[in-house]
Chain A
Amino acid sequence: MADPMRIRAKLQGDTADVRILMRHPMETGTRKTSSGVVPLHFIQSVIVQHNGKTVLDAQWSQAVSQNPFLGVRVKGAKVGDKISVTWTDNKGDKRTDEVAVAAGS
């Protein structure tokens, strides 16, 4: 099972600054180890939703770095709003995590 993401969502004015760290190998399909070539394995799609409404729909290649980071900003957010993130990789593995928008510091 995929590891949980680490999501921070902080309100700055009326905009939520959303920072997402995911754990994923993002294998390019060409890396050789003693036990052969590691198959291509990467996140292809990331969807960010604000209170259930999609605000970002991303498509990635294997050129996104291992243990990916994604930062987005969502306008019209309030403290307590739900931000959910779903990634899906080329093997069909997926993971969804959710946080509430926190007050900015």
Chain B
Amino acid sequence: MKKMRGISLAALSTVALLALAPPVSAQGDLSVGRKMLVEDNPGELWIDQGKGLFYQKRGPNKVSLEQCDFGMGPGKLEGAAARLPRYFADTDRVEDLESRLLTCMTVLQGFDRKALIKQAIGRPRTKGSDMEALALYVTSHSNGMKVNVTLNHQKEYDAYKAGEYIFYRRSGQTDFGCVQCHGEPNKRIRLQDLVHMTSKAGAQEVASTWPAYRGAHYIVRTMQWRLNDCVWQMRLPDLKYGTDYSIALTTYLNHRGNDAVMQVPGFKR
């Protein structure tokens, strides 16, 4: 059977339009500023904030998060975030960093899940949410370690494949799936670099740099926020916090990002 690729057709149009040299090079013109910002990242201020929250006895049950199991055993944080998302038997579900924190904050500390979710994405120019600070604190214990998201449980395989499917699924007003913006190298929306997520290096960048300081918001953000904002630009409706959709996408990206060295907080424009 004779087959054609949509992508090569799109490439044809590029040739037809005689693309001029791009006016800006993200590698050249923009790199000096980026390097300076990454080296001294205000997001580091959130690590202490998260640490305080982690050890504080909080919630109706007045306990800390020290007994939270992020997959390496209760209270074991070293390298735990580098292995997320993963399957958890207690919830019989694959959970990512944010959804696991939600689980611990509700089950251990007794917080109301709905109330937590309502505040999970902090307002710009504030101290951000407890979730954002906690997510960074937990992930900071994986700094210098390699991303190692494994597929063992059937639900992990399911999440991976569903995430892949969603990555390519086009719908809505813009006809966008994730791949329309993240499927080719060296692309930008205006001046903003788009991570080339179908490449190993791109997936590694995603897997190893969240949570990140978002310069334009002056606070630390998590991957769940990133997905929410993407979906908003794609003209889709409001993405719920911590659903299987996000967890599946994150499983797909992080597993392919294996062996990247974790370095958080990242710095995003």
Contacts and interface: CB of A to CB of B under 8 A. Distances in A.
Contact of B40 (A3, A4, A71): A71
A6 B48 contact: yes
B5 interface: no
A104 to B, nearest CB: 15
B48 A4 contact: yes
Size class of the B contact interface (CB-based, 8 Å): 10 to 19
A6 B125 contact: no
B55 to A, nearest CB: 16
Interface in B34-59: 40-42, 44-45, 48-49
B111 interface: no
Contacts of B218: 66-67
Contacts of A94: none
Contacts of A4: 48
A87 B182 CA distance: 43
Nearest to A69: B40
A29 interface: no
A71 B37 CA distance: 12
A61 B40 CA distance: 21
Interface in A1-23: 3-4, 6, 19, 21, 23
A21 B44 contact: yes
Contacts of A69: 40, 42
Interface in A43-76: 66-67, 69, 71
A13 B41 CA distance: 24
A25 interface: yes
B45 A21 contact: yes
A6 B125 CA distance: 19
Given A25-B125, A66-B218, A3 B42 contact: no
A3 B49 contact: yes
21 contacts: A3-B45, A3-B48, A3-B49, A4-B48, A6-B44, A6-B45, A6-B48, A19-B40, A21-B40, A21-B41, A21-B42, A21-B44, A23-B42, A23-B127, A25-B125, A66-B125, A67-B45, A67-B218, A69-B40, A69-B42, A71-B40
